Amino acid sequence: MKIVLQRVTQACVSIDGNKIGEIDHGFVLFVGVADADSQLDIDYLVRKISQLRVFEDDNERMNLSIQDIDGAILSISQFTLFANIKKGNRPSFTDAGAPVFASLMYDHFNESLRASGLSVITGEFGANMQVSLVNDGPVTILFDTAHQ
C-alpha cells in the first residue's frame, strides 16, 4: 500500500459539487492499494498513522499524535499513487490493485483506523472527487509498505 499523508487544518471532499465529507484538523490520507497488499500492510499503516507524532505540543515541537489532539482523518482512495511513468508521457496504472480487491482493502483499512479509536471520513471509492485542503506546516509524509 502507498499513502500520502498531509497534516491539515481543514479538508473536504466533494463529488459533482456536493460536499460528501469534511474534517477540521487532522490528516488527509491519499490511499493506494496493490494486489500484493495484505492485512499485515493495513496493521502496519494503522499503527504508524495513529501514533505518528507530527502535531505541535505547548513547546511548539512535533510531539503529539492525532489521538492526542482529537483530530480526524479524511481518507481518499487514489490508485494514481501507483502510476508508472518510465515509458512515454502517459502513465500506466497496471501496478494498482484490481478495483474489487482495492475497494475491499480500502474499506478494511478505514475500518481498522476507526477500530483504533480514530474518526474517519471517506470519499467514494472509484469516484471522480474534488479534494480541498489546507496543508498545515506543510507536513507531508509518504508511506510505502513495500519499504517497511
Q: Which residues are catalytic?
A: 80
Cell 489546507 locates to 134
Type of residue at 74: L
Cell numbers given for 31: 490511499
Torsion, Cα 39 103 80 87, to 10 degrees, reads: 80
- How many angstroms separate the CA atoms of 117 and 51, rounded? 11
Q: How many CB atoms lie within 10 A of CB 12?
A: 17
Q: Specify which residues 12 forms β-bridges with.
A: 22, 132
Give 42: exposed, middle or buried? Use CB within 10 Å, 0-12, 13-18, 19+.
Answer: buried
Beta bridge partners of 68: none
